[in-house]
Structure 1
Amino acid sequence: MATTIHLVQGMTCAHCARSVGGGIEGIDGVRRAVVDLDAGAVTVEAVAPVPDQAIAAAVAEAGYEYGGRA
């Protein structure tokens, strides 16, 4: 299991968290994405390392800005 934490800018509410988390959970191999609104971060648990570009693309598709790894 690979766990990483990524920063996401622009999230302000539960809807934001669901959009980002759902988008990331749609990536092949991702088991769970837990969004922390207060920290502006998402913890990604996957069966294998997920490329940062895939996380960034999912975040952008949800309408938010990827801030890199925490």
Structure 2
Amino acid sequence: MSKDSRMRATINQKLTEMGERDRLKELLRAKLTECGWKDQMKAHCKEVIKEKGLEHVTVEDLVVEITPKGRGTSA
């Protein structure tokens, strides 16, 4: 396990123990909804489904299509 991985695991463990992990997740979820990110991702999913057809799209296909946009690596 790399030093980075160990550090992330330690931080995650401490946040969980302190009850902060869930609080931070909820705060992030609220902020993403507030800024319209959730609606943008939903609209992008609908576009992908419309282009490919409902019967030709799997959940995995949607994840592959929207992940770059969701992470901000694609406009």
Larger Rg, first or second structure (1 or 2): 2
TM range (shorter): 0.3 to 0.5
Larger helix proportion of the pair: 2
Q: TM-score, normalised by structure 2?
A: 0.36
Q: TM-score, normalised by structure 1?
A: 0.38
Higher relative CO (Cα under 8 Å, sequence separation at least 6) belongs to 1
Larger strand proportion of the pair: 1
